[in-house]
Structure 1
């Protein structure tokens, strides 16, 4: 794994998100009410909604445009919606968020 320090856990509010810009697009980093950290694509596959602006609830995020709900563990759409977002491994080390950039570096921009 290729761990990249992307900031402090406290930089993200509870039930909020921040964006990390990469060469292959934006990654949204989410913090749940329980202070868990997840990283996923910032783009909803339905209409391209900015997921970092969505509502974080439990271990899910709801797209702000059309209310699609995604599981932050798997990236799978919940309910009747079909779709998936990319998810990326993260870990916390001494209050810092580390994102595994291996998959990001392996992807090619469209």
Structure 2
């Protein structure tokens, strides 16, 4: 695994999300309710809309364009349920957040 430093823990607040470029890929970091952090593809698998333009309530990501909803803990689609977000491994060291994008590509679903 090749982890790259993306930001610090101070940049990822609970209930908030932000986009970062890592090795040429757009990665969305989400601060889950309870303080955990997840890293997902930054675009909706429906029509490539940036998820950072949508809503995040600490539990669910909602795309602004067609209201597709994803479980922020797993990346699995809630509505519709037959899709998911690509997930990137993360690690935290000395208050820094690292992400590994090697061999992981964004997923796309039906239209």
Corresponding residue for 1:32?
Answer: 32
Tell me, what secondary structure is at the counterpart of 1:10?
helix
Cα separation, 1, equivalents of 2:76 and 2:9: 25
RMSD: 2.1
Q: Distance in 2 between matches of 1:90 and 1:80?
A: 26
Looking at structure 1, the residues matched to 63 and 4 of structure 2 have their Cα atoms a distance apart, in angstroms, of: 26
SS in 2 for 1:85: coil
Pick the structure with more helix per residue: 1
The alpha-carbon deviation at position 99 of structure 1 amounts to: 0.7
1:91 partnered with 2:88: no
Residue equivalent to 1:71: 71
Runs of 4+, deviation exceeding 6 Å:
none
Question: C-alpha separation between the residues in 1 aligned to 2:62 and 2:72?
Answer: 10
Q: Is the 8 A contact 1:29 1:52 kept in 2?
A: no
Gaps of 5+ in 1: none
1-side partners of 2:64 and 2:95: how far apart? 29
Normalising by structure 1, we get a TM-score of: 0.78
Distance, in Å, in 2 between the alignment partners of 1:61 and 1:10 is: 21
Contact map agreement 1:44 1:63 (CA 8 A) in 2: yes
What is the count of residue pairs matched by the alignment? 105
Whether 1:14 aligns to 2:14 is yes
